[in-house]
Amino acid sequence: MDIRDFIDKIPFARKAQAVAFDPCGLIAISKGSGIMSHPNPNPKDNMTPSILRAKYNFKEEYFSWKAEGCEENLHLYLINRLDSPTSGIMLASANKELAAELKKAFKEKSAKKTYYAICVGRPFGKEGEWNDFLDIKRFGNFVRGKTGGGTRAITRFAFERIDENKLMLSLMRLEPKTGRTHQLRIQCASHKLPILGDETYGDFEANRRLRRLAGAKRMYLHCAKTEVEFEFNGKKINFCAEDKLPQSFKDIIEFNGEILIKKMGKI
């Protein structure tokens, strides 16, 4: 089946869509904020939708569904995931063998991801590198982490711009060199730049204030670009997929008269 035909048969949920592909079977998906990469293992906790309206095999990490005109179920294998509040690019594969090669590439650090975050505060320096040790604890389906002990986490950061509404917010570009759970969220918080809208590691008072002033209802972390280099069937492939900055980011970073009016207490 041609990759275009395969994509047409994927039962994407609302706020998820394919944005790029390679003929080998690699697919880049744009995931919106507030939906999960895959269903929760506990059916009782599946109140939040995932990217596909399909069953998920947790052991082999793929979605499975019956498509019109196909005798056998179709499968979509996840390569990487994004937290539910995070939006942006995630990768998937139309076949198991390719998925294995891509996961190997991610493990060997042949993949590069670029994120943007709106953070509360101002950074010390315009760019640099965070090198921390993260201690990650799992409690059933919940994950919590902090700096100190554990495994090394490295992230390149760059200050992009301040917000035009004088809310003491910064747009940051983040490039993780390691792939630890909640890495960017924990490191931003520990370096006094909590991500706006983060309900676990964020500045809760600032979250409430910005929700009132600007209607900030999401976590402002977005995977804008993913690049990966790998070999498949004897061919070297360089793949890049991008997802533009959401309008919700621009609404807060760019000038907004309504926000300024609310700040002055006139409405």
CB atoms within 10 A of CB 122: 12
Task: Decide if 79 contacts 232 (C-beta within 8 A).
Answer: no
Query: Is 163 noted as a catalytic residue in this protein?
Result: no
User: pLDDT tens digit string along 59-73?
Assistant: 999 999 999 989 999
d(CA 196, CA 254): 15
Give the up-direction half-sphere exposure of residue 21: CA atoms within 13 A in the CB hemisphere.
15
Which contiguous run of DSSP H or E holds residue 4?
A: helix 3-8
For residue 206 the two structure tokens come to 């600032």
Task: Judge whether 1-108 and 109-267 match in fold.
Answer: no
For residue 265, CA distances in Å to 31, 165, 262 come to 36, 14, 5
Residue 154 pLDDT class (50, 70, 90 cuts): very high
Task: Give me the catalytic one of 5, 83, 135, 251.
Answer: 83
Q: What is the reported pLDDT for 45? A: 62
Task: Decide if 24 contacts 46 (C-beta within 8 A).
Answer: no
Q: What is the reported pLDDT for 105? A: 93
For residue 35 the two structure tokens come to 């939906």
Residue 46 pLDDT class (50, 70, 90 cuts): low
Task: Decide if 196 contacts 210 (C-beta within 8 A).
Answer: yes
Q: 1-108 is classed in which CATH architecture?
A: 2-Layer Sandwich (3.30)
Q: Is the pLDDT of residue 44 over 80?
A: no
Across residues 44-65, what is the average pLDDT?
89
Q: Which of 189, 197, 190 is nearest to 167 (CA)?
A: 197
Residues 6+ apart with CB under 8 A from 249: 116, 118, 171, 220, 222
Q: What is the reported pLDDT for 267? A: 46
Please give the mean pLDDT across all residues of the chain: 94
User: pLDDT tens digit string along 6-23?
Assistant: 999 999 999 999 999 999
Task: Decide if 159 contacts 170 (C-beta within 8 A).
Answer: yes
At residue 225, the 3 state secondary structure works out as: strand
Q: What is the reported pLDDT for 111? A: 95
At residue 70, the 3 state secondary structure works out as: coil
Which contiguous run of DSSP H or E holds residue 116?
A: strand 111-120
User: pLDDT tens digit string along 187-217?
Assistant: 999 999 999 999 999 999 999 999 999 999 9
Residues 6+ apart with CB under 8 A from 266: none
Q: Tokens 């937290």 identify what position?
A: 83
Where in the chain are the domains? Answer: 1-108, 109-267
Quote the CATH superfamily of domain 109-267: Pseudouridine synthase (3.30.2350.10)
At residue 256, the 3 state secondary structure works out as: coil
Residue 1 pLDDT class (50, 70, 90 cuts): confident
